[in-house]
Structure 1
Amino acid sequence: MTTASNENQSPKNLIQIITFNVRATRTAGDDGIIPWINIGRGNEEILNLIDAEEIIIPEHEITVSIDYPLANPASFNLFSSIGFSRKLLLIEIREQFLTFSETESLDISAIDLVALDVYKTNAGKIEITLDIDL
């Protein structure tokens, strides 16, 4: 099977929505929790990420697809022997946005990661799309 056919399998079934909650350090909401991660402040916010170490995707290989706000949608594969925690996913996604900020002139301080939509293809592959706010 070719890479292109792996990436374009359908249908995909939504199996999980992963959220990010951060203890507020600058401005507090009603309960002091912010329901997103700012990509530009990711290093700071990761310290206050709730359930950061929880393994939320037990699979060892996933594909992350990013379309918005990129001019050219991109995807990348991640591998982990123990599965993926919120912290690990945030670190990897932030690194990709740092790379994109150089090539696409993105202002990553304006990008908030609200959630991850986790899909399973008919072939059993895990694909993640990002729920982004600008």
Structure 2
Amino acid sequence: MATTENENQLPKNLKNIITFNVTATNSVDGGIIPWVNIGKANEDILNLLDADEIVIPEHEITVSIDHPLATPTSFNLYSSIGFSRKLLLIEIREKFLALSQIADESFDISGLDLVALDVYQTNAGKIEIILDIDF
């Protein structure tokens, strides 16, 4: 884990911003919502636009979560085909579900909206994702 933390501290270059757009099912005009609610991500995945598009072609990434955690954390993800919006959303939701069960953390997962993922490449060539979360 110490190695990952040290790699995350290297200078980073913004490579991409991944957005999440969901077709609104409860509106009259079927508009677009520009975020995904992490608490109801399973429902939002069904209406997620471009869900299966590979948005990160790399096979290994690090996801950093700081907000709304008392203690920031990061975790690694691996995929032989890269990462789609759907896969990223599933993995992030699972991590938040696990984190919400930790006694030191107190947040309501249903109040967290994932607006975007900021994709950085470190000087070592590693891909790091930082979450843009509203609550």
What TM-score does the superposition give when structure 1 sets the normalisation length? 0.93
Give the partner amino acid of 2:40. Answer: R
Query: Where does structure 1 lack aligned partners over 5 or more consecutive residues?
Result: none
1:39-58 → structure 2 map (5 Å cutoff) = 39-58=38-57
Give secondary structure in 2 for the equivalent of 1:90: helix
Structure 2, unaligned stretches of length 5 or more? none
1:131 maps to 2:132: yes
1:31 Cα offset (Å): 6.2
Aligned-pair identity (%)? 73
Counterpart for residue 6 of structure 1: 7
What letter is aligned with 1:41? K
- 1:19-51 CA deviation, whole Å, 9 max, x = no partner? 0000001236x7610000000110000000000
Which residues of 2 match residues 1-134 of structure 1 at below 5 A? Answer: 3=3, 4-9=5-10, 11-27=11-27, 32-103=31-102, 104-134=105-135
C-alpha distance in 1, partners of 2:6/2:72?
A: 17
> How far did residue 105 of structure 1 move?
2.9
Partners of 1:66 and 1:60 in 2: CA distance: 20
> Which amino acid counterpart does residue 38 of structure 1 have in structure 2?
N
What is the CA distance between 1:98 and its match in structure 2?
A: 0.2
Residue identity opposite 1:22 in structure 2: V
Paired with 2:27 and 2:66, the residues of 1 have a C-alpha distance of 29
Which aligned runs of 4 or more in structure 1 are off by greater than 4 angstroms?
Answer: none
The residue type equivalent to 1:18 in the other structure is I
Q: Deviations over 1:35-77 (max 9, x none)?
A: 0000011000000000000000000000000000001100000
C-alpha spacing 1:60/1:71, structure 2 compared with 1 (3 Å): same
CA-CA distance at 1:5 after TM superposition = 2.5
Distance 2:90 2:113 in 1: 14
1:57 & 1:22 partners in 2: Cα distance?
19
SS at match of 1:14: strand
8 Å CA contact 2:100, 2:107 repeated in 1: yes
User: What RMSD over aligned residues (CA atoms) do the two structures have, in Å?
Assistant: 1.3
Residues 61 and 126 in structure 1, CA contact (< 8 A), matched pair in contact too: yes
